[in-house]
Structure 1
């Protein structure tokens, strides 16, 4: 696999799209082994896409795009203003609240970071916040989005690792809340030290609170309905994706009355592009994964880690550090696809809970979206706000520290992750 790894790294450095880099380097493995039928790469690519559980991915992507097209974002921004507008650094706090509220809608950290940069970024800067701080908050705040159901990272991890997606969805709420608290505390400290003003000067009136809650209630109910549907066996993960699409259409037409033919077509076109990118990546990664399994790479890596420590928490720490290092160069979705078959068996071998590990894994992998040199969310925010990467990196260090601290809590206190899924799913 050494030549395969070198080929993958070189292709990435050349700027080739990740999916092609994975697929081509996977084919290199078969060229090294002429005894293997050359038809296997094609068979693997096609058979991977036939997994029925993967049907949830395009359905949830479509549901998220339809909900965004329905005008729900503006309603959630009003609710975020009521929740956090009175705090120091109010717009920064509002952006974190909006990320938490948007988790059940978009499911994409990159999309959420880009959207909020256009909505709030220039206004934050005009109110005296530094460009680096603004970009850091808008970028790191988006870590909440894929952790709140229905995060695509959980769907991919659960499908590959044969882990209950319902339990993964339930496990995401408490970690997202902890991350929100950690980031909000960091923003509060910085805002008080620098004198960043609140976004609102007066408390919201009861009428304003009621209006904000009634406007955002449909988005808030979305992840709750998903969990209840899975908990009581009303839907399978794939079926609830179809329900999510219908739910989004009904909200856009009946509740907000903003989903018109033009916006519906735009949402479908965006979904087509998003689904194509994700599924193409999953399909071509099957070629790479076949070589990993055949060469017994999971066993080799597991043996190397166990030579360092056989403690479950120690192993999880090493895995998280490895994921963070890989995240500097590789997209989170790719990491989840490639590393789940390697590390999940090791965690099971040591008696770890797959749901607990899955949440920690997805959080660690998502961090790579916000770190140089290739963080996609980082580049999206910095390009929109015209912020230098150096300024962004320097101002984001306290936020990175807060996220790292919460990740440690998730590793060493498993019940912060497992309490809700154990409660809901009777375990």
Structure 2
């Protein structure tokens, strides 16, 4: 398996797309094993996508694209502006609040960064925001979608690690709220130091806030209905995806009346691209998963790490440092696919709750989108504001400090991610 991993790194370094590098190196495992049956490689590629729980991924992606085309983005921006536009650097606060409320709609940090850069970027530039700060604000805000249900990363982790997706959805809510508050505090400090302007001279009147909230009600209710449906057993995670699609079409066509046939076609086309990429990665990762299991890599990793320490917190910190490093060089979705089946047994044996570990792992790997050398969100944001990576890192220091504070808090205080799932599902009852 070591040879396979080395070949994978060489292929990526040569510029081969990650998905193909996974497939080629995974197939190489079967060529290098004299007892391996080549037909198994082909079978795994097909059967890897036949897990019923994975059906939730394309359904939630489709629902998110439908909701995006139904006019929810504009309504949520109006609500965020009414709530926070009176604060200094009001447009930055609007970005953070909208990113939190949009998390349940898009489920994509890259999509959020691209959208907010186009919608809010020109306004930030016109108001004199430093390009590096604006790029960092767009990027760090987009990461909030990692934790707001229904995050794709949490679905992948739950499916592969056989962890309750319902609990993972609920576990991300409180850290997501805390992330938004910490980022708003960081924006406030940066705004005070750089004298960034307010969007509104005073706080919006209650009537305006209430009207904006009423117009955004269907978007705000989406994650709430999902969690309640899972809690009371009305649907499984896969069935929740089907409900989400029906909900999106109903809201877009009947209530907002903006989901035209043209927008419907565009949402379907975007979904085909998004789902094709995700499912291809899932398919080609099957050989890796089989090879890791066959060579007992998880067991060896457990023995090695537990030989260093059996303290759950210290072990978690070691794993987080390792995940931060690998996240700097590879896409978070790929890493979730490759590492979940390896690390979940390690966490469980060390006494770490798999739901708690899932929140930490998915958040940590997603931070790789913000870091050099190949952070996709970082590159998108920097190109939009025509700034350099050093300027981006330097001018966004408070924002990165807020993200680091959140990650450390979630690691050291497991109740931040476990209190709400225990409250909703119970401490011993099974969750869907």
TM-score with structure 1 setting the length: 0.98
Instruction: Establish whether residue 392 from structure 1 lines up as the match of residue 364 from structure 2.
Output: no
- Cα contact 1:170–1:227 (8 A) shared by 2: yes
Give the structure 2 partner of residue 279 of structure 1. Answer: 279
Is the contact between residue 29 and residue 291 of structure 1 (CA under 8 Å) also seen in structure 2? Answer: yes
**Residue 33 of structure 1 corresponds to which residue in structure 2?**
33
Alignment-derived partner of residue 366 in structure 2: 366
Q: 2:302 corresponds to which residue? A: 302
Residue in 2 that maps onto 1:118: 118
SS of residue matched to 2:285 = helix
Offset of residue 282 of structure 1: 0.7
- Counterpart of 1:104 in 2: which secondary structure? helix
Deviations 1:138-172 (A, max 9, x none): 00111111210000111000000111111111111
Residues 188-207 of structure 1 correspond to what in structure 2 (within 5 A)? 188-207=188-207
* Structural mapping, 1:10-409, within 5 Å: 10-409=10-409
**CA separation in 2, counterparts of 1:69 and 1:358?**
31
Query: What is the distance in 1 between the residues matched to 2:254 and 2:388?
Result: 44
SS in 2 for 1:105: helix
Paired with 1:109 and 1:376, the residues of 2 have a C-alpha distance of 10
CA distance in 2, matches of 1:177, 1:393: 24
CA apart distance, 1:7: 1.1
Which segment drifts farther, 224-233 or 381-390? 381-390
C-alpha distance after superposition, 1:208-255 (max 9, x if no partner) = 112210111111100000000000000011111000001001111112
After superposition, what is the alpha-carbon deviation per residue over 1:312-354, rounded to whole angstroms, capped at 9, x for unaligned? 0111111111110011001111111111111110111122211
2-structure distance, mates of 1:8, 1:53: 28
What is the rounded CA distance, in whole Å, between the counterparts of 2:417 and 2:2 in structure 1? 37
Moved over 3 A (4+): none
Q: CA deviation at 1:3?
A: 1.7
- 1:396 offset after TM fit, Å? 2.7
Q: Structure 2 CA distance, aligned partners of 1:383 and 1:24?
A: 32
**Does the residue aligned with 2:212 lie in a helix, a strand or coil?**
helix
Taking the aligned partners of 1:18 and 1:259, their CA distance within structure 2 comes to 35
Question: Counterparts of 1:87 and 1:402 in 2: how far apart (Å)?
Answer: 18
Q: Does the 8 Å contact 1:372/1:393 carry over to 2?
A: no
For residue 397 of structure 1, report the CA deviation from its aligned partner: 3.0
Query: Where in structure 1 are there 5+ consecutive unaligned residues?
Result: none
Describe the superposition over 1:95-144 as per-residue Cα deviations: whole angstroms up to 9, x where unpaired. 00110010110010110011000000121011011000000000011111
Separation in 1, partners of 2:9, 2:200: 49
Partners in 2 of 1:48 and 1:409 — Cα distance?
35
DSSP-derived class of the 2:106 partner? coil
Spell out, residue by residue over 1:7-50, the C-alpha distance to the aligned partner (whole angstroms, 9 max, x if none).
11111112222111111111111111132111111111111111
Q: What is the aligned partner in structure 1 of residue 6 from structure 2?
A: 6
CA positional deviation for 1:200: 1.4
- Normalised to the residue count of structure 2, the TM-score between the two structures is 0.97
Task: Tell me by how many angstroms 1:384 deviates.
Answer: 2.5
User: Is 2:132–2:385's contact at 8 Å kept on the other side of the alignment?
Assistant: no
Which secondary structure state, in structure 1, belongs to the residue aligned with residue 216 of structure 2? helix
CA distance in 2, matches of 1:52, 1:134: 41
The range that moved more, 297-306 or 403-412, is 297-306
Alignment root-mean-square deviation, CA: 1.0
Tell me, in whole angstroms, the C-alpha distance in 2 between the residues paired with 1:42 and 1:402.
45
Partner deviation per Cα, 1:78-108 (whole Å, 9 max, x = no partner): 0110121111111111100110010110010
CA distance in 1, matches of 2:15, 2:401: 30
- Tell whether the 8 Å contact from 2:301 to 2:346 is kept in structure 1 after alignment: no
Alpha-carbon offset, residue 289 of structure 1: 1.5
